[in-house]
Amino acid sequence: MLEILDLPYWDEKDEQGKYIFRDLLTSSIWNSNVDKIQSILRLPYWGNPIYQHLLTSSLWILNAKHIQDVIEFCETIGIEQFITISLLKKSILQLKALIHYLNEQNISIIINGKLNPIFNYSSSVLKKKYHIDLKELVRIEKKENIKLCLS
């Protein structure tokens, strides 16, 4: 516990003198270990203003590799400025499945300058409210990925 409190990140400030990471010191941090915390805080994205809204205690349920993979995926398709914590919680396969679903339905990924809310809903809400079975979409996506690999 003291190892976490002794990390130098808590004293880092931005150009305006505001602490960058201190708001992450919430009770949920104690479910993580010092190595996991450091690996997340070391990610190169936090200096970029488009990612700073992601600096919430919800990061502690993720791991650095997953955060990096999702951000890189979003950058490759040009939606990095729309990333939310809810989107970060999804797997790349889930994101691809949702994108393919939207494309097949001729529904925009970006609506009125914002990410389509479908990306922020849990799979249970998607199924109950919108009749979208994310597990089935992922199963189809996996099948398509296998086809691409075999071609």
pLDDT tens for 82-95 read 999 999 999 999 99
> What whole-number distance in Å separates Cα of residue 81 and Cα of residue 121?
18
> What whole-number distance in Å separates Cα of residue 101 and Cα of residue 106?
9
Termini Cα distance of the chain = 51
Residue 80, both tokens:
């990095």
With residue 2 as reference, give the H or E element that holds it.
helix 2-5
pLDDT tens for 10-65 read 999 988 999 999 999 999 999 999 999 999 999 999 999 999 999 999 999 999 99
> What whole-number distance in Å separates Cα of residue 131 and Cα of residue 36?
36
